[in-house]
Structure 1
């Protein structure tokens, strides 16, 4: 009888419950539940609706029971940087802000009054992004100091959901590194830095590695969903889970975890915290078994997702790719990492405005808008390859794209063409597979990461794109 493991993978726009089991030496996936997600306006800010998300988590668990497939263990991964502060009675203090909220404007300057930007990077190895938790907490300190004072715990969002399921509060390493408050040397919170910034050190509890058992469901959850199982920490940062499942990842292969964001990089044994690395905006996020995900955050498919939504979702992504390919000669380009595209009121208008401002021909049709996005994204990927090679002194002849974006054949071919590298695409469900892989490793189904990656390759394969 099959033993099932459950990955709950929650992204910024949707979440899904994916069961996995081993069959004839291969990993088999089954999606049992899916739900929508998104930031909501509250008190003039962009926030997450955590009660609704936890309700959806439990509904997905009920779907497992209804299917007669009770998981042996489960784990939750989400995006990075967002968190909750809890008081002594485990109540959330203030709003649960989303990373696209604008309240962090100017908070970088407040942080740099205490520690200069170059010194901060040398100390943490994490790239500057205005939504990093370090700047979010400075906003709490300056705008809501009473909440910082009342706080007893800080939990990243997947840790909070694990707490709601089990009653146990544990903090996981990979997601914590995105806060810009973890030392790449000790692999724990940098308490000296935290004290200097005026944050409350006692709320930052010891970090645990993926594979740690959080505990069984609480009695309350067990009664509601109709069964119990063990909650095991995956790599709770969705990109860390995705990188675990990159089947072609070797010392001479780059990866792109392609979704709302595109995370492009390599795996390293040590963090690269040089001034050159900081100037090129690379980051050293924590990975499985203390590997470092040396990568750059690229805006990714957020832009085309936003345009599609503005069009009333009447086109599929495959159709948008076809329309872009038909306009492949359209000359205009944008900097996909420009802040103008982080959270515009209208992405289509933001792209047009950027083109006007920078002297490019303004796109008029949907196909031209899509062409600008896909061509610009592929060129950003190609530039990032060159940067990684310059920073590491190494050569990378191949790129393995995983995640939902790996299904975009047109973008895959563009990436191969513009980078001059061989592109491998797949698997699409990389994050969920990486989540499941940690649970299976913890359960002794595999001897180590290399064996898991070999199994993933055998189970899902890759598509190959050669530069033309």
Structure 2
């Protein structure tokens, strides 16, 4: 009887159920279900609809049963930093805010009144992003203190879904590090920091490594979906899963996890929490087996996704790439500028940036796309330079994984600006990394290196020079 593993991979715009199995030494994938996702405006706030998302999770499980491909193991990964607060009856308190909501504006200053930015980075090694959980909790403390007072526990989004499935609360390590409240030395919550910030220590549960058994389905879940299953913690931060699936057995590899965000970096065995690393805005997010994902968050394909929705006609990403490749406009924007985080209109934001910086203003949608793609290429080149300076290593290639690895023009642009060979694929890296950790738990592979070798042999990798 074939053994199936299920990765439920939920991104900012969609979710998917991917079944995986090993066949003749190679990893085989099958998408069994897909569903939409997105932040919704609730009383003026950008929020996630977790109730609907959990219904979709269960629907995908039912589709597995209907297909006669019942998984023995499963795990869920999502985006980072967002969370729920639960009361003493395990009910969600307040809204489930999305990271693009503006309630965190000015909360960095509130945090720095208590702990300076240099000390905070030295304690956590995490890049400042205004949406990090540390700032979201400061917003809650300032604006909704009664919620924190009533809270008995805090769960990041994938941990909450695992809890709904099993009734067991686990806090997974890779996602916990993105809160900017975890010590890279102890791999545990920095309770002294949490206490200084005035956050209730009791809500932060024990942190567990990827590959930890959470529990089996609760009885009512098993009845509803028609089977039982072991729930295993993957790297629940989607980038953590994607990096686990890099198709190489070499150490010191440079990667871009390319999707809504571009996460560009390498892996370290010890975090770099130096002042110079902080100045370069590099981060030390947790990875599988306590590796550190030393990387920079870059706005990524969020900008292209946004302008695509604003175009007068509907175009495929392939068509946008093709048209953008023929443009000559030289203008470049800073992809990490805050004006591109959640603008009312991305096209207007790009034009305004070009005008403000005295550059040629794009006149049509294809020039807009060309500016964005070229700006990403330039940003990648600058980031490589910084990582090489900080690590003292030279990197001759970049592994691009995730949905953005399918964007041929962007891969060409990346090779052009960085002067490095680009190896693109697999596109479903996040789901694959999720599956690898489940398989490692079940001893299908001896270690991560063996799992990555299997990925390299199982999927097509395209090379760009």
Normalising by structure 2, report the TM-score. Answer: 0.99
1:344 aligns with 2:328: no
The answer as to whether partners of 1:121 and 1:278 remain within 8 angstroms in 2 is yes
Shift of 1:394: 1.1
| Structure 1 position 143, deviation (Å) | 0.5
Say if 2:426 and 2:459, in contact at 8 Å, map to a contact too.
yes
Deviation for aligned residue 1:251: 2.9
The Cα shift of 1:252 comes to 4.1
On the 8 A contact 2:249/2:453 being kept in 1, the answer is no
Post-superposition offset of 1:275: 0.8
**Contact 2:134/2:179, CA 8 A, preserved across alignment:** yes
Alpha-carbon separation, structure 2, partners of 1:372 and 1:239: 26
Partner of 1:163: 163
Secondary structure of 1:326's match?
coil
Q: Write out per-residue CA displacement over residues 285-320 of structure 1, whole angstroms, 9 at most, x where no aligned residue.
A: 000000000000000000000111112671111110
CA distance in 2, matches of 1:213, 1:43: 38
1:18-37 C-alpha deviation (Å, 9 max, x unpaired)? 00001110000000000000
Residue pair 1:252, 1:398 contacting (<8 A) in 2 also: no
Match of 2:209 in 1: 209
- Which stretch shows the higher mean deviation, 242-251 or 410-419? 242-251
The equivalent of 1:127 in structure 2 is: 127
Aligned residue number for residue 441 of structure 1: 440
Select between 245-254 and 337-346 the one with higher mean Cα deviation.
Answer: 245-254
Describe how 1:17-166 pairs up with structure 2 within 5 A: 17-166=17-166
Q: CA-to-partner distance for each residue in 1:88-147, whole Å, 9 max, x for gaps?
A: 000111100000000001110110011000100011000000000000000011111111
| Alpha-carbon distance, 1:249 to partner | 5.9
The corresponding residue for 1:418 is 417
Partner of 1:382: 381
CA distance in 1, matches of 2:394, 2:246: 19
Instruction: Report what 2:429 is aligned to.
Output: 430
Q: Which residue of 1 aligns with 2:367?
A: 368
Mind listing any 5+ residue stretches in structure 1 that lack a counterpart? none
Whole-Å separation in 1 of the counterparts to 2:420 and 2:187? 34
Q: Distance in 2 between matches of 1:269 and 1:142?
A: 37
Q: Is 1:336–1:376's contact at 8 Å kept on the other side of the alignment?
A: yes
| Change in 2 beyond 3 A, CA 1:312/1:250 | farther
Q: Deviations over 1:395-430 (max 9, x none)?
A: 111100000000011111111111111111000000
Q: Distance in 2 between matches of 1:230 and 1:182?
A: 28
Cα distance between partner residues in 2 of 1:192 and 1:249: 38
User: How many pairs were matched up?
Assistant: 465
2:405 corresponds in structure 1 to 406
RMSD: 0.8
Maintained 8 Å contact 2:104/2:135: yes
Residue aligned with 1:205, SS: coil
SS in 2 for 1:322: helix
Deviations 1:222-278 (A, max 9, x none): 111111101100000000000000013633420000000000000000000111110
Q: CA deviation at 1:185?
A: 0.4
Deviation at 1:360, TM superposition (A): 1.0
1:222, 1:311 → 2: CA distance? Answer: 45
| Aligned residue number for residue 14 of structure 2 | 14
Partner of 1:72: helix, strand, or coil? Answer: strand
**How big is the shift at 1:462?**
1.0
TM-superposition CA deviations, 1:22-67 (whole Å, max 9, x none)? 1110000000000000000011100000000000000000110111
Distance 1:348 1:381 in 2: 22
Q: TM-score, normalised by structure 1?
A: 0.98
1:223 aligns with 2:223: yes
Distance in 2, Cα, partners of 1:319 & 1:66: 36
Q: Distance in 2 between matches of 1:313 and 1:452?
A: 43
> 8 Å contact 2:254–2:397 — kept in the other structure?
yes
**Maintained 8 Å contact 2:8/2:57:** yes
State the match for 1:358 in structure 2.
Answer: 357
SS of 1:114's equivalent? coil
Contact 2:252 2:267 in 1 (8 A): no
More displaced, 313-322 or 295-304?
313-322
TM-aligned CA deviation for residue 80 of structure 1 = 0.2
Q: Which stretches in structure 2 are left out of the alignment for 5+ residues? A: none
2:188 alignment partner, SS class: coil
